[in-house]
A and B are shown apart, each in its own frame.
Chain A
């Protein structure tokens, strides 16, 4: 693939150093029933070439976080900082954000039908990021066809002339990925890109994202509600609840040695295709809180089986507990760290 001149104000980042640093991010929407606290102080880093997973139940603030990373949340309702390669996206001018989006930072959303324009050919839409950068039309089209081939669309030259409705759900998601990667971004935000798809198609999309990001050295933030999907793809995982980080660590640490009651509960309640069939699945009681009525103290306390009196009043900080290997926002993390991953 040819290298393109890009809107380059940034120094190259060293491997290991963060390319994206999110600090104390909050997004609060005003409403008649009082403020909706969708994101409540998220802090995390993304390193170059990294595959980072963010997992959380519906309403935990995943999509709002993704929108914030792309500068798409209303500024007067967003606080904290989002520093991408040295530049704070929350204070950068709007035209600068437009220049970064789809080019340096690109995205794949859950529902490709609403993200694709039904009146334009697939080829045209995939070429769009290049056309916006004044790449000559012929060259942009050639690269779009090449990219459609890369993402596994058979007979790409012919299919580039089709419209989105002529593609199946899985093929449309491939088109979205082609669009996201054609500008050779350094960071891709993928918000539930496989949620509506059948398992076999889902596995192919995961393989594709893995291969392309691996080959092109792109970092991916993969957002999902399904812990199963992240196991093979992610190198590091952040567990979100009520707009906050509950646990953050390497993928193996999370699945084999979690020290947060919420993560342990999520892992427990997954139905699986192997191993013994339990009489009943173990469950987390209740449901996630409404962001307009967040509990005091630890947001998980109304559902937690390890709750103690102080959990109701003291919000647990996200930190590595004594004797632990990774960060957990739980007042009993040190106690759990004596038996990591065991309390399932």
Chain B
């Protein structure tokens, strides 16, 4: 009960060498409990995707430790690593490029089941695919269509169904709504909330802004320059942020409230008259 589903300790990932060396992930540690949704928030280049890819071992970390469901992820090889790959699944940011345009939706979703359970009967696979489709809010008549015939939000649903086909315990979502319209973003966020409840899924949800994670995640980690600057419960992060960077990120999120936005703009303007704005 008390051991976390995912434990990350001292994770480091470097790219390049010599003077061009980049420490994309720099001593990152966090836990995610079974059934929890952890938000990982930071600006472009802060190391969010690299952290996710190391955790799923899609790339090799330079140093550190990752334990998933009690197993030492970095020590695994062969069949054990394949098993891990079905325990933890990644949902990509870009619903356009992450689906094979030549495959039908049914084949895209069934592919994972067939790889991991090659001896499964085709009727069982088909039933599972239909169930998954319904679970993510698509219709059976969608099965025979190809990705090009779907809108962005629908494609993201297909990507989620594909990830769920392997019955993962952990879903790592890398900015899954960033490229979608607001009205569609809300639909997908609700879908994640439903899935978490119905399937007891554990989520690591990556975003570059603090507003979408607030609706989904009970705990949030704020990343900058490869480091976690602050990690805390939703209440702690939004009501009493400790790190200056968290406060700066929060202040910059525009809200649909003209009076308070104009006040913020005026405050920024008077702060800037002394020092020229810099990126």
Contact = CB atoms under 8 A, between A and B. Distances in A.
A228 B256 contact: yes
A202 B264 CA distance: 14
A210 B181 contact: no
Contacts of B252: 199-200, 202-203
A255 B256 CA distance: 7
Given A204-B277, A207-B269, A232-B264, A271 B258 contact: no
A79 to B, nearest CB: 28
A272 interface: yes
Contacts of B186: 269-271, 281-283
Interface string A206-230: 1110110000000000000111110
B215 A278 contact: yes
Contacts, number: 140
Contacts of B234: 277
B182 A225 contact: yes
A139 interface: no
B268 to A, nearest CB: 6
A203 B268 contact: yes
B223 interface: no
A171 B252 CA distance: 18
A259 to B, nearest CB: 16
Contacts of A251: 258
Interface in B251-265: 252-259, 261-262, 264-265
Interface string A263-280: 001110111111001111
A342 interface: no
Interface string A145-179: 00000001010000000000000111100100000
A255 B248 contact: no
B215 A287 contact: no
B248 A152 contact: no
Given A200-B43, A202-B252, A266-B183, A58 B214 contact: no
Nearest to B152: A58
Contacts of B210: 273
A226 B182 contact: yes
B256 A283 contact: no
Interface stretch (B15-23, B70-78, B117-125, B187-195): B187-195
A57 B184 CA distance: 10
Interface string B196-228: 000000000000111110110000000000000
A255 B257 CA distance: 7
B185 interface: yes
A261 B154 CA distance: 23
A294 interface: no
Nearest to A228: B254
B62 interface: no
A270 B214 CA distance: 12
A281 B190 contact: yes
Contact of A272 (B190, B256, B265, B277): B256
Contacts of B215: 271, 277-278, 281
A198 interface: yes
Contacts of A231: 254-258, 261-262
Given A266-B183, A271-B185, A287 B151 contact: yes
Interface of B: 43-44, 151-154, 181-187, 189-190, 193, 208-212, 214-215, 234, 238, 248-250, 252-259, 261-262, 264-265, 268-269, 272, 276-279
22 contacts: A152-B277, A198-B208, A199-B209, A200-B43, A203-B254, A204-B279, A206-B265, A207-B272, A226-B254, A228-B254, A228-B256, A232-B258, A232-B264, A251-B258, A256-B258, A270-B186, A270-B256, A271-B185, A272-B255, A273-B253, A279-B193, A283-B190
For the complex of A and B, 5 pairs with smallest distance between CB atoms: A232-B261, A228-B254, A269-B186, A231-B261, A281-B186
